[in-house]
Chain A
């Protein structure tokens, strides 16, 4: 298959010469030894710290579906926990409003250490304190919102720490020794450590609910002309309004000073 010498030589033919460029055999011996040493050093050398990150990212990329599902589950769990905690707080607040009597019962054990005699040792106080609480479930309305995950707590001893009990005892001692100081809020109120009883609120009445704006306006406007329209408060309102208007008119007329010439000076007072 002899190539015709008259046939045109193309760019492809010239580039084919590049394919025929090959290194000599000795080159491969050197290449082999060099790559062997590089391979060994790659095995022995410690990998850089970011290689671990890239491996983790690569692993996450490989199992992206699993990682995504786990992340979604974690988000959902956190969301449910958050919403559940908020709902618990709202529920406890509602319960404390709806059942003040129960809260008052809850306040009773907290008051018991206050009546403790000063001579009683502290160990005994704690012992009494542990025995004192009523076994009935106590509402957690007095607890802070952070620690108050459940709506009810089984006993008070479980819900109150020895530190808070100690502070209550200290304040009760101060109250006994110096009742005047105890009345003052020098150190802040020790009531924070007691179960707060929130009185049930009366439902708020809308102050504007009983008003008829149209009737009021009509009465005010027609009162000067038709006294029959002026009734009660609307009459008083209308008279006040007329007095105000009259006084302001007088003030304006007083301020108008007729000058010697035919000019009229008008002054405004504010």
Chain B
């Protein structure tokens, strides 16, 4: 029963996401009617998620900040084209992902990585760090920095499309269907990219997988 629920969650968007999409549509209608301040609410609501996607794709905080701002500006400029056929966040994510992909393709050779601080409020993250620190016996701070660098390295070794799929599925928790909509490809393509990317990451991060 649990397995089937998990599979369903990975395939289709959750009901909460659908309610959220309905609420967003109302806000978008207000913006389309001329209420510019309503767009600020959308920015505040989605800025962390969009920044998270872009940051995990670029591994650079400055680039991520610029690209996130650009994505919101593009969304603001083209909000009159939004008809509500897809949810607003899917549409916004698509803008952000496409901007980031084109930025990465333009600057393929340029890569400056910067690290964000891991917030250990998330219990699962804290437990993982605890477990790895206990086994390695290294100082916590040093180990976390090293792990972050290794993770960034492993992510950057993936191709742009594989990195995007991993970011959207594993880090942002979107369903296969939503990722397919955002990346404008089939669900099968999303699954195969995800499988391949996980294999590569497993090979890269083997020392940490105990």
Interface contact tally, CB-CB below 8 A: 118
Is A214 part of the contact surface with B, judged by Cβ < 8 Å?
no
Chain A residues within an 8 Å CB radius of B120: 20
Closest chain-A Cβ to B146's Cβ sits at a distance in Å of 12
Which residues of A (8-46) have their CB < 8 Å from a CB of B? 8-24, 27-28, 30-31, 34-35, 38-39, 42
Interface of B is mostly: helix
Q: Is the CB of A3 within 8 A of B43?
A: no
B202's nearest neighbour on chain A, judged by CB, is: A11
Q: B117, B125, B127: which contacts A19 (Cβ < 8 A)?
A: B125
Chain B residues within an 8 Å CB radius of A42: 73, 76-77
Chain B residue total in the interface (Cβ 8 A): 54
Given A15-B170, A19-B171, A42-B77, A3:B208 Cβ within 8 A: no
Q: B69, B81, B130, B147: which contacts A58 (Cβ < 8 A)?
A: B81
Contact with B along A35-73 (1 / 0, CB 8 A): 100110010000000000000001000100000000000
Which residues of B (118-153) have their CB < 8 Å from a CB of A? 118-125, 127-132, 134-135, 147-148, 151
Q: Is the CB of B81 within 8 A of A17?
A: no
- Listed residue (A13, A14, A24, A58) with the most chain B CB atoms within 10 angstroms of its CB: A14
**A-B contacts, 9 listed (Cβ < 8 Å):** A2-B127, A3-B128, A8-B209, A14-B209, A16-B128, A18-B151, A18-B155, A20-B119, A31-B68
Q: Give B contacts to A, CB under 8 Å.
A: 39, 43, 47-48, 51-52, 55-56, 61, 65, 68-70, 72-73, 76-77, 81, 83, 115-125, 127-132, 134-135, 147-148, 151, 155, 166, 170-173, 198, 201-202, 205, 208-210
Further 7 A-B residue pairs, CB within 8 A, beyond A14-B147, A18-B171, A39-B39: A5-B134, A16-B171, A18-B151, A20-B118, A21-B118, A31-B68, A31-B69
Q: Give A contacts to B, CB under 8 Å.
A: 1-3, 5, 7-24, 27-28, 30-31, 34-35, 38-39, 42, 58, 62
